[in-house]
Structures are given as structure tokens and as C-alpha cells.
Chains A and B, each alone.
Chain A
């Protein structure tokens, strides 16, 4: 990530907020976490470094088993790194047990205390901090209002719905005003409609409280819609950190490009590299402009990615040429699958208009033109 994208990520809820360089809420430095011993050893985290800014909605995105929960547990203090260090506002928190870290967690199964009421659950953290009764009461009332649960404050947690339990879990974790809130796939147990509602709710809560959120999900769409920045993880490593735009438009590695959205992979020769840009000569012989992933090492067969909606199908000549193999109608758009003359597969996504058909038919010889700012060269 260059400085350009750092500036872009200063955009928050549509407003440009001044970036304060070096102000990180959480700084993870070279953290490794190994489980087991000897033969059965697994590195759940393999030298992870990442810096999470203050007031940021930061998402850890990756498939199941990639180490997301492990990283959260290390930050919360439920587990300790095998190597590396974790700083909270510049201070090493390694020696602090979880009950001394100003960090709270929303657990995947909510982990609400079944023998307490909604209000008692929410007040628990403040009470443990030794706050006076009146202050706890006022803050609990405030939190109940924030998550719209005033009417149910006296209920047992077993007597409220899943979505309501989710709200209580959020309120309970937010009540002590932690520096950082950790959320481990908090929405995965909710049905589709409720999940959409809670996504908006979470964004609102983060905006209103100004607390740094570290949010874990394996759902790429959820990550793209909610996050200020995303870290894409795979097999215990962080592959790329960036804004949703960065991650989607400029994936650094094949895994990232593949995991997030649909994409086309092309083989190309790279020439004229300068300032993160280059010229890519495709197998068709056409040469297009491309941005280059950080850490790219010049090589013979580089991989270029082009998103299906960033390419245009023409009946004339384009940068690529091929034959239409299949057409799939999706309502808002149509996916046109093309077999290139180089025998690579390529999909174009074309916005639908109110007309019959997309203008192409199976078997048509077509050209594909790729826009000036549509191609990205991967580093692997």
C-alpha cells in the first residue's frame, strides 16, 4: 500500500477526515502462533504484521481456518503469541491478562450470562471495573437506548430472540467504552434479513461511539460493504491490507482476486514498469495499461486480472478476441462467457438495458476491449 491509498482510507462515511499518521490503535508486529508440538505442529498465524488505526472499521477477511479467530484471541489476551508483539496505542500489552486490557469482544455465540438479566449483562463490565452504582445504572440505560432494547431490560437472556441477543452482546461489550471492540463473525448466526439490518446497525454504532472495530468475517460482500479497511487472510498470513476499493480493484495476489468477487486471469509479459504502472502485452498481442501490485518481481509469465464489469464486448476488433460460449442472464446484468483465441476463458459482465437480449449470441466472434484503468498485475 502506498501513500495514495492511505489518503483514500481517510474517507469515512463520505466525509474526509484528516489522517493522523502513526496513530494506530492496534499494532501487530511479526506475530506467530503455533499450536501443538512436534509432528502435529500447526502455525495458525505465520508472522503477521498489521497496523489498525484509531476509529477505524477494520475487517479480517478470509476462509474458515485461516487464523482470524486466533488473531482476535491474541489481541483480547485469551491466548499468547508464540513470537512477535502486539501494541495497544503504542504500548506492549503482552504482559496484560484479558481482564486488564481495555479491549472487549463480541463472541460468535454471544456468550451472554444466562443467570443475569439483559441489564445485568450490560452492566457487568462496568461493575467489574468498580464503577459506582449510579454510574453503572446510567450507562446501562444509555446502552439499552443505543441498541434499542429498553423495553426488554429486565428479561433473562434466554427469553429474547437471536437478533436481540446480538444487540445485548454488542451493548455489553460497548458499555465499558473499550479502546478497541473485537467482533468474531457476529452476524453469521443471523438470517439474511436480520444480518442486513445488523450490518447497518453495526456501522451506525461504530460511527456513534467512535470506537475502533476489528470485525471478522468470511463473507466478502459483508467485508466490502462495511469496512474502512480490509485485511485478506489465508493460511495464517495476511496477504493484503487496503480499502474495499483497493482490495477489489487492485488485488495483490491470485488468492485475493479469486476470493473477492469474480475475475478474469490472463497471462502477459510486463514491460515499462514505473510508478506502480506498466504495460502488459497479452497473448493476443495487444498491449494494455496496467497497475502493478506492490512487491511484483519482473518475470516471463505474469498474471493480469481484469474484473468482468471492467471489460467491454464489441462486435469489432478489441484487445482480445474470441467466441461467445455461454450467456447467463442475471436481471441487473448479463454474464457473457467467451473462449479467447488463446484458449483462455474470459467473462464479461454487461449492464442490462430494457431491451430484448444483450446484443450477442452463442457462437458469435467477438472482440473484448479493456479500459485504460482496468487491469492489475499480480505479484504471484
Chain B
């Protein structure tokens, strides 16, 4: 044991780890700190204040964009998770067959095709539909977000399914559970942490998206990230920091909630 390679004992490990740590978190800490700046600069500290939080809260554009973001993320994450759950069940509860690899690739396509390509393709595709139907609501954004959220929801669900003992489902069938009841009483409860992870991941990914949203959105359909991007082209005030800080808080909340739910499930 004593002679085993231990990366923690290597010279410079601590230094490298600290640098990585600061490189990752220092910018975020700066953003959060300056959200509380009393002055209107994002670089010069002038004392503590909550004014930028008030300002953001009273800014209709920010509130509208936030609501829009949450609407899109809720709808997209929900649909994506349902589709991903069905896809994961279909791809794991079957014997390998020719073409299964192709299906994996098909489901994970959004992870492999550069986002900008998808964005341009959707822009052209949706603009045609807009002309034909005259509809220009949030549906396009929701559909686009659903599509690229599917693989993110799919991966944790599939991982959970692959680790599940298949004899549990056989045992349920043996004990007079119809396929639907076996799913509801055995597969689904055991799959639930995976589904929740998929849902959270999809939600956060949707909330965060800029590229596809920027291309697909119609006028007046800014989401929070595209709104913020727009702001950068004008004057930058700590209002942006305040919004980011709230965003960060929501993300941490989601991750924490998920952590506790999944830990409780695993203890069972």
C-alpha cells in the first residue's frame, strides 16, 4: 500500500489543484460579490447595497424574460424527460440487435452536431413553418429546446436502467403483476432518481441555452440568457450580476434538492 502511486503525494499537486479551483470559482465569486455593489460599475467597489436586485426585480424586461425562460424550460424538460424515459426503456429492455447503435447515435445527435449548425437549420426550417401557418408563439422555442434536451435527460435514465436488476421485473411478473403494473410498482420507483436527474439536467440545460434560442426566437421572445447577452452590447451595470446571482442560486437549489432526493432513494 505504501508504495502505491498516490497523486496527492506528487509535487505540485496542491498548487495545480488550487489554481484550477480558483480559475473555476474566482470569476463566479467576483460576479456574486459585485452584485451587491452600491456603485454602478462591475469593477469598482463602492459599498454594499441591494439596489441592483431591486432594479432587476422592477425591470419588466427581466421579469418577462425570466418567466419566458422558466416556461420554456418547464415544458421542454418535461417533454424531453418523458421521451427520454421511453427511449431509454426501449433501448435497454431489448436484446442487442443490428441498428441499435444507430438508434443511440440518433437519440444523442444533439450532443454530436455543433449547436450552431442545428440553430441555422432550425431557423430556416421554422421560418418556413411560420410563413405557412402564421403562428409565431413560444412553441418553436419549446420544440427546439425539447429536442436538444432529450440526450441530457436520456443519459442518466439509461444509466439507471442499465444498472437495474432485470430479475426484479421478472419477479414482479411472476407475482402476477401485468406489464403495466410491474412498470408502475417496480421499474418506475427504481428508475425515479434517474428520471429526476434527467429532468433537472434538461431543465438547467434549457434555462442556459443561448445559441439555438438566439436563432429561433421571434421578436420579443428573449429568454433570460439572450436578454443578458443583449445588455452586454450596451451599458453593463451590476444588474447583470444580480440576475446571474439569482440564477446561480436557483441552480444550486435544484442540485441540492436533487442530491437529497436521490440520496434518500439510494438508502432504501
Report which of B178, B186, B190 forms a contact with A99, defined as CB distance below 8 A: B178
Q: Is the CB of B167 within 8 A of A158?
A: no
Is residue A115 within 8 Å, beta carbon to beta carbon, of the partner chain? yes
Give the chain A neighbours of B178 by CB distance below 8 A. 99, 128
Q: Is the CB of B268 within 8 A of A114?
A: yes
Give the chain A neighbours of B139 by CB distance below 8 A. none
Within 8 A of B (CB), among A67-113: 76, 78, 97-100, 103-105, 107, 109, 111-113
Give the chain A neighbours of B177 by CB distance below 8 A. 99, 124, 128
Q: Give min CB distance, B262 to chain A, whole Å.
A: 13
Closest to A124 in B: B175
Report which of B176, B179, B181, B190 forms a contact with A114, defined as CB distance below 8 A: B190
Report which of B174, B182, B189, B265 forms a contact with A76, defined as CB distance below 8 A: B174
Give the chain A neighbours of B236 by CB distance below 8 A. none
Query: What are 15 pairs between A and B in contact, CB < 8 Å?
Result: A97-B173, A98-B173, A99-B174, A99-B176, A100-B176, A104-B175, A105-B174, A111-B167, A113-B171, A114-B268, A124-B177, A129-B176, A172-B175, A173-B174, A173-B175
Most chain A CB inside 10 Å of its own CB: which residue of B167, B189, B190, B265: B167
In whole angstroms, what is the CA distance A99 to B170 when docked?
9
In whole angstroms, what is the CA distance A103 to B181 when docked?
18
Is residue A308 within 8 Å, beta carbon to beta carbon, of the partner chain? no
Q: Is the interface of A mostly helix, strand, loop or mixed?
A: mixed
Give the chain B neighbours of A62 by CB distance below 8 A. none
Q: Give min CB distance, A104 to chain B, whole Å.
A: 6
Residues of A within 8 A of B (CB): 76, 78, 97-100, 103-105, 107, 109, 111-115, 124-125, 128-129, 156, 158, 172-173, 176
In whole angstroms, what is the CA distance A173 to B186 when docked?
16
Report which of B170, B175, B179, B189 forms a contact with A125, defined as CB distance below 8 A: B175
In whole angstroms, what is the CA distance A98 to B174 when docked?
5
Is residue B26 within 8 Å, beta carbon to beta carbon, of the partner chain? no
Residues of B within 8 A of A (CB): 165, 167-168, 170-179, 181-182, 185-186, 189-190, 265, 268
Q: Give min CB distance, A189 to chain B, whole Å.
A: 14
In whole angstroms, what is the CA distance A104 to B182 when docked?
15
Report which of A109, A128, A176 forms a contact with B181, defined as CB distance below 8 A: A128
Given contacts A78-B170, A115-B268, whether A125 and B176 have CB atoms under 8 Å apart is yes
User: Known pairs A114-B168, A128-B172. 4 more at Cβ < 8 A?
Assistant: A78-B173, A97-B173, A103-B174, A107-B167
Give the chain A neighbours of B268 by CB distance below 8 A. 114-115, 156, 158
Closest to B166 in A: A111
In whole angstroms, what is the CA distance A224 to B15 when docked?
68
Q: Is the CB of B176 within 8 A of A128?
A: yes
Report which of A104, A111, A129, A176 forms a contact with B168, defined as CB distance below 8 A: A111
The 7 closest A-B pairs by CB, nearest first: A125-B175, A128-B176, A111-B171, A111-B167, A98-B173, A128-B177, A115-B189
Report which of A78, A103, A105, A113 forms a contact with B186, defined as CB distance below 8 A: A113
Q: Give min CB distance, B126 to chain A, whole Å.
A: 43
Closest to A76 in B: B174
Give the chain B neighbours of A76 by CB distance below 8 A. 174
Q: Give min CB distance, A317 to chain B, whole Å.
A: 61
Most chain A CB inside 10 Å of its own CB: which residue of B175, B177, B179: B175
In whole angstroms, what is the CA distance A104 to B175 when docked?
7
Q: Is the CB of B189 within 8 A of A109?
A: no
Closest to B265 in A: A115
In whole angstroms, what is the CA distance A98 to B168 when docked?
14
Give the chain A neighbours of B167 by CB distance below 8 A. 107, 109, 111
Q: Is the CB of A111 within 8 A of B170?
A: yes
Q: Is the CB of A113 within 8 A of B168?
A: yes
Give the chain A neighbours of B265 by CB distance below 8 A. 115
Q: Give min CB distance, A338 to chain B, whole Å.
A: 50
Q: Give min CB distance, B194 to chain A, whole Å.
A: 13
In whole angstroms, what is the CA distance A259 to B9 when docked?
57
In whole angstroms, what is the CA distance A98 to B186 when docked?
16
Give the chain A neighbours of B181 by CB distance below 8 A. 128
Q: Give min CB distance, A247 to chain B, whole Å.
A: 29
Q: Is the CB of B173 within 8 A of A99?
A: yes
Q: Give min CB distance, B263 to chain A, whole Å.
A: 14
Give the chain A neighbours of B172 by CB distance below 8 A. 113, 124, 128
Give the chain A neighbours of B186 by CB distance below 8 A. 113
In whole angstroms, what is the CA distance A97 to B173 when docked?
8
Q: Is the CB of B170 within 8 A of A128?
A: no
In whole angstroms, what is the CA distance A173 to B171 when docked?
9
Q: Give min CB distance, A360 to chain B, whole Å.
A: 54
Q: Is the CB of B171 within 8 A of A107?
A: yes
Give the chain A neighbours of B171 by CB distance below 8 A. 105, 107, 111-113
In whole angstroms, what is the CA distance A98 to B167 when docked?
13
Closest to A156 in B: B268
In whole angstroms, what is the CA distance A78 to B174 when docked?
8
